[in-house]
Amino acid sequence: MAQLSDDCFAFGGPMMPVDEAVGIIASRLTAVAEKETVGLMDADGRVLAIDIAAPLPLPPFMNSAVDGYAVPASDLRRDASSAVPVEGRVQAGAAAPAVRPGHAVRIFTGAPMPAGTDTVFMQEDVRIDETDRVVLPPGLKAGANVRPAGEDIPLGHVALRAGRRLRPQDIAVAAAFGLTTLEVIRRLRVGVFSTGDELAAPGTARKEAQLFDSNRFMLMAMLRRLACEVGDLGILRDEPSALAKALKAAAGRYDLILTTGGVSTGEEDHVRTAVESVGSLVLWRMAIKPGRPVAMGVIDGTPLIGLPGNPVASFVTFVHVVRPAVMALSGATPAPMLPIPVRAAFAYNKKLERREYVRASLRRAEDGTLEAVKFPREGAGLLSSLVDTDGLVELGESIVRVEPGDQVGFLGYADLL
């Protein structure tokens, strides 16, 4: 099981900067250690558990990069064409024939270089004369159009390191090494609760003053993208003792408990008190908008993150708090999010010392520059603002005002999930 030390952080006073909060969260989480072996087809998105060193060089043998004629470098002429007889033919997958000095071998892309040859003339650069000899132009460099063994990855090179979240191209490397399986960290088990008397589960009857619970499904989908095994724990009512009981019961059964709603300061926000009654609170408020109330606690050694209820706040704090926590728990090497510079096509006022995220769409301006267009409304409850935009403009703590034309950093949703 994942463990979290429960010596409590002093969380009174001002709201905590995002980086500090994330640092505290990451430093207190210990990665799960259990590994499992998965087939390559099931490895995408999983965290590699061991270093993978090249068991063979890539490419494994010297081969031609083009269709053409292979020759030894000693036959190359610097200032005049030469005509040489063609002897033998080698295509991809075939064994290379022996070649006599003063001869060229017809060769195709990917075919092994015949012993003694080390340079290939592209077929577009030569012609065949009336005696069937190939006319080689002068000036080609020795070793041209050849892919030496190991030029991509040398034998023994650690091509994939433990902690890597595997992507399709990483799986390609494993396959190129001839591997059929990979050792990965086991999936993280995350239990997800929604909280609120106003929530009805989709598929059940909705009372007049209720809305269907959307956050739980968003969060579970986001967790799935992070390769987690998700436990759907349903909706908890705004009732302190029932909340505390449910959280306590989930502790120990999951590596992480995630809740949404009930973490503000309102009289009906009971998650924080519930955590304090059955465990301990590590931190609570963060200087992030949308977001702000985010509770981090620990119950019987199981970490808990309580996200706000407003859907956009829930989304943004998932990305900036839960994601790094999931990474830390699953042993993944931290990968900082690097916003890409774009031009703001909006004006915006913000509070000093608070990190703010503005929902925006990208468009290409007439001068070719990428521009971020702000979603016209700001409510943290507007699901449409997430659906109809491409990502988040990140405004750092020191910024107080954005003018149209300013350079800002943009994080696309595709990179955030």
The site for Mg ion, by CB under 5 A, has a size of 4
Cβ pair 140, 91 in contact under 8 A: no
- The residue from 116, 308, 324, 391 that contacts ligand AMP (CB under 6 A) is 308
Cα–Cα distance for residue pair 314/312, rounded to 1 Å: 5
Stretch that binds ligand AMP, among 19-27, 121-129, 223-231, 302-310 (CB under 6 A): 302-310
CB of 400 to ligand AMP, least distance (A): 27
Taking CB atoms, the residue at the shortest distance from ligand AMP is: 309
Strands (E), 315-406: 340-344, 348-349, 355-364, 370-374, 391-395, 401-402
Cβ contact 314:381 at 8 Å: no
Cβ atoms 284, 272 nearer than 8 A? yes
The size of the interface with ligand AMP (CB under 6 A), counted in residues, is: 19
* Phi, psi torsion values for 314, nearest 5 degrees: -65, -45
Say whether residue 261 binds Mg ion (CB under 5 A).
yes
CA angle, 401 then 405 then 409, to 5°: 70
What is the smallest separation between the CB atom of 196 and Mg ion, expressed in angstroms? 4
Work out what residue 260 binds among Mg ion, ligand AMP, none; the CB cut-off runs from 5 to 8 Å by kind. ligand AMP
Q: Shortest approach of ligand AMP to residue 200 CB, angstroms?
A: 10
Contact mark string toward Mg ion, 103..122, x via CB under 5 A:
--------------------
118 binds, among ligand AMP, Mg ion, none (CB under 5 to 8 A by kind): none
259 interacts with, out of Mg ion, ligand AMP, none, CB within 5 to 8 A per kind: none
Q: Which stretch binds ligand AMP (CB under 6 A): 75-83, 202-210, 308-316, 325-333?
A: 308-316
Contact 321, 328 (CB under 8 A): no
If you ran DSSP here, which 8-state letter would residue 321 be given? I
Cα 338 to Cα 406: distance, rounded to the nearest angstrom? 18
Please identify which residue in 72, 112, 196, 279 interacts with Mg ion, judged by CB under 5 A: 196
Which does residue 210 touch among ligand AMP, Mg ion, none (CB within 5 to 8 A, set by kind)?
Answer: none
Q: Which of residues 328-387 bind ligand AMP (CB under 6 A)?
A: 381
- Identity of the residue, 91 or 264, whose beta carbon is nearer to Mg ion in the bound complex: 264
Measured from the CB atom, the residue of 22 and 235 that comes closer to Mg ion is 235
Residue 182 half-sphere exposure toward CB, CA atoms < 13 A = 33
Q: Choose one: 37-45, 192-200, 316-324, 328-336; the region binding Mg ion (CB under 5 A).
A: 192-200
Cα distance between residue 246 and residue 335, in whole Å = 33
**How far, in Å, CA of 80 to CA of 326, rounded?**
65
Question: Which region, judged by CB under 5 A, interacts with Mg ion, from 4-12, 108-116, 195-203, 242-250?
Answer: 195-203
Does the footprint of ligand AMP cover residue 213 (CB under 6 A)?
yes
Task: Scan for tokens 């003339």, then name that residue.
Answer: 121
Residue nearest to Mg ion (CB): 196
Two structure tokens written together for 169: 């191209």
Q: Give the x-and-dash track for 166-205 against ligand AMP (CB under 6 A).
A: ----------------------------x-x-xx------
Checking DSSP bridges between strand 256-260 and strand 302-307, what pairing results, if any? parallel
215 near ligand AMP (CB under 6 A): yes
In angstroms, rounded to a whole number, what is the distance separating the alpha carbons of residues 65 and 79?
24
Question: Cα–Cα distance between 208 and 63 in angstroms, integer?
Answer: 71
Interacting residues with Mg ion (CB under 5 A): 196, 261-262, 309
Binding interface with ligand AMP (CB under 6 A): 194, 196, 198-199, 213-216, 260-262, 264, 266, 269, 308-311, 381
